[in-house]
Amino acid sequence: MKRTAWTVMWSLALAALLGGCKKEADDSKAAPAAPPSDTRPPDAPSTASAEVTLQLFGDPIEVDAYRQLIATFEARNPDVKVRLIPIGKQKDHMVKLTTGFSGGTPPDLFLLNYRRYAQFAGKGVLEPLGMRLEKSTALKEADLYPATVEAFRYQGTLTCLPQNISSLVVYYNRGLFQRFKVPLPTRDWTWEDFRQAAKALTQDTDGDGRNDIHGLGMEPTLARLAPFLWQAGGDVVDNLQRPTRFLLLTQPSQDALRFVLELQRVHRVTPSLEEAKSEDLEARFMAGRLGMLLQSRRLVPTLRSVQALDWDVAPLPRNRAAATVLHSDAYCMARDSKVKDQAFRFVEFALGPVGAELIAHTGRTVPSLRKVAESPAFLDPSQRPASARVFLDSIPTIRRLPSTPEWNELETRADPIVEEWFYTVPEGGTLLRDPSAPADPEQGPGGSAKHLLRRRDEVTTLGYELDEATVGLLAPSKVRR
C-alpha cells in the first residue's frame, strides 16, 4: 500500500516536471526575449500594476492626439495604464481640477497653461518635477527651450515640465487674399500693413449692406492685447514676478489700445459682438468668412481637417518692436499621487523624442524639445501650415505674462471687461474717427457695459476699469480719475 502511494506521487511529480519543461520550451519558441529596457513588445502579456490618470482639455481632434500618445506609451510600458480624462473647455478643466484637489481626488497628471498653474503651486499641492528631471536619464532641462522652462519655475523651483512653446501668430486665408488682390503677409510687416489688409479683406459680397467677410478675428482678452502693448513700447503690468499695478494708462500702452479699438469701432474689420456670439471666430475662419485670425498652434489639427481651406500662418505685425506672447502648457503632478514614478515615466516619454515627435506630427504643438521642434517632424513640408517655421522664428520675440497664484483669477475678472470695452460703443457713437470714412449711422451703444463709458475717453476707460476690478489681486494703487 505504501509502495503504491509513493509510486503515484512520483508519477504525478514527474508529469508536472515534464509538463513544465515542455511549457518553457514552447514559450521560448513562441516569443522572443523581452528587450533589456522598459519597452517590451506590444503583444507581451499585460502585467499592469499601476493606473495613471491624466486630465487635459481640448476639442475632439486635439484629444485624439493624446490618445495616440497614450497608446504608444502603453505599448512600450505594459505595466502602466494611463486613463485619459478629456474636458471640452478650459474653464471646466480648471473647475474640475479645483474640486478634485478640494475633495482629495485630483488626477495624477494634468496639462496646465503657465498662466494658471501657480494657483495650485501656491497651495503646495503640486509635486515639483525639477528634481526628478535632474535625475532623469531620458530628458534634461538643457534639451528644452529656456523661455518655456522659466515660465514654470515657481519661486525658483521648476514645478511643471513644458510640452510646447507656441506663440500667437496670424492665421490667414490665402484664397481670400488672392481673391481680393491683397498682398500676402511678410515676416516684417507692420501695423499699417496689417490694418490695410484687414480693411481690404472686409467685404459685403452680396450688396445687402452687411459685411459677409471680415478681415480679422481677434478674441478681446488681456492675453491677446499684450503683444500689441509690447510692440508699442508699453506693458501689461509693472513687474513680471511680483506685479503690483497695470500699466495700461501709459502713453505707449494707450497708443496700442487705440490701434486695436479702431480696428473694431472705426474700420469695422472684426465681427460685431452679436456676430461673434452667433458663430465663433474659428468656425468663421474655417468657413471662409474671416480673412485673418489670431491664434496659437493649437488650431492646426482642426484646420488640417478642412481640406478645401487654403491657409497659412504669418508672424504678428510689428510696430516699434516685434513681440508675441507665449502660449505654453506643461505636465503637472499632484503631490498626493500614489503613482509618482509611473506618472513621471509617462512625462519623460511624452516630452522625449518619441512622444514629442508623435504629438508634433499631429500638428498640436510646437515641441519644447529643441531637436524635435527643429526637425522634419515639426517642419514637415508636406503638412500644413507651409510656413511652420514662423513659430520657431518667433521664439526670440516671445514674452510672457505673470505666473502668480492670483493671475488666473485676475484674468477671469479682466477678460469680460476687455470684451465689453472692445464691443461697447458710447451713446451717440464713437469719438474715434477715420478721416477717410463717413460716420456710421448704425453705430450706437451696445452690450451691457454703459458703465464703462462714464468717462469721456474710450481708450483710457479700460485702464481705469481694470484698476478698479482687480483691487486686492494686484497691490492697491491710486485709481486715476
Cα angle 265, 294, 87 (rounded to 5 degrees) comes to 115
Q: How far is CA 64 from the centre of its chain?
A: 16
| Domains (range + CATH), the chain | 50-165+328-383 (3.40.190.10), 167-326+401-469 (3.40.190.10)
pLDDT at 471: 87
Rounding to the nearest 10 degrees, give the CA dihedral for residues 116, 120, 121, 125.
Answer: -150
pLDDT at 475: 61
pLDDT at 253 over 60: yes
Cβ(67)–Cβ(39) under 8 Å? Answer: no
**Residue 252 phi/psi, 5° resolution?**
-60, -40
Q: Higher model confidence: residue 6 or residue 126?
A: 126
> pLDDT (tens digit, 9 = 90+) per residue, 146-165?
999 999 999 999 999 999 99
d(CA 396, CA 391): 10
pLDDT at 440: 42
d(CA 476, CA 40): 58
What is the 3 state secondary structure string of 35-76? CCCCCCCCCCCCCCCEEEEEEEECCHHHHHHHHHHHHHHHHH
Residues 341-369: what's their mean pLDDT?
Answer: 97
Name residue, grid cell 518692436: 321
pLDDT at 47: 53
Strands 169-173, 290-295: pairing kind: antiparallel
pLDDT at 324 over 70: yes
Q: State the DSSP string of 424-481.
A: ---TT--S---TTS---TT----TT-GGGGSSS-TTHHHHHHHHHHTBTTBPP-PPP-
> pLDDT (tens digit, 9 = 90+) per residue, 196-237?
999 999 999 999 999 999 999 999 999 999 999 999 999 999
pLDDT at 276 over 80: yes
Which CA distances in Å does 207 have to 212, 366, 433, 437? 9, 42, 24, 18
Q: Read off the pTM.
A: 0.85
Residue 257 parent element (H or E): helix 251-265
Q: Higher model confidence: residue 248 or residue 430?
A: 248
Q: Which of 433, 313, 316 is nearest to 379 (CA)?
A: 313
Half-sphere exposure of 145 (CA within 13 A, CB side): 27
pLDDT at 432: 84
Length of the chain: 481
pLDDT at 23 over 60: no
SS3 398: strand
SS3 120: helix
Cell digits of residue 36 = 533589456
Q: How confident is the model at residue 428 (pLDDT cuts 50, 70, 90)?
A: confident
